Amino acid sequence: MINQSVAPATGVSRNNPSPTLPTAMAGSGRTPPPGCAQLGVVTEIAPTLRGFGIDPDPVIREAGLNPHLFDDGANVIPMPL
């Protein structure tokens, strides 16, 4: 059986490159709420893209996220359940 679930639309488009998504900034002792994931090692995406000569900010925005969330691995982002 093929799972054909689709993530909810984020509103990302050429006309709306920075949709508003629920996010939480890092905090001491913060446990991510249900449906969210801590960025952790994913913060290495930006330096990796830069290493390939790609500006990470447009790529991250296209995914519907604020690039500044990647400044701290303790930040959380929404995650499909």
- Asked whether residue 31 is assigned to any structural domain, the reply reads no
- Asked whether residue 60 is assigned to any structural domain, the reply reads yes
Per-residue model confidence (pLDDT) at position 33: 80
In the chain, % of residues over pLDDT 90: 25
User: How many other β-carbons are positioned within 10 Å of the β-carbon of residue 40?
Assistant: 11
pLDDT at 53 > cutoff 50: yes
Predicted model pTM:
0.55
- Asked whether residue 1 is assigned to any structural domain, the reply reads no
- Asked whether residue 66 is assigned to any structural domain, the reply reads yes
CB-based contact 36:1 (threshold 8 Å): no
- Asked whether residue 70 is assigned to any structural domain, the reply reads yes
Q: Identify the domain containing residue 53 by its residue range.
A: 41-78
Per-residue model confidence (pLDDT) at position 6: 37
- Asked whether residue 54 is assigned to any structural domain, the reply reads yes
DSSP-derived 3-state class of residue 24: strand
> Domain total for the chain?
1
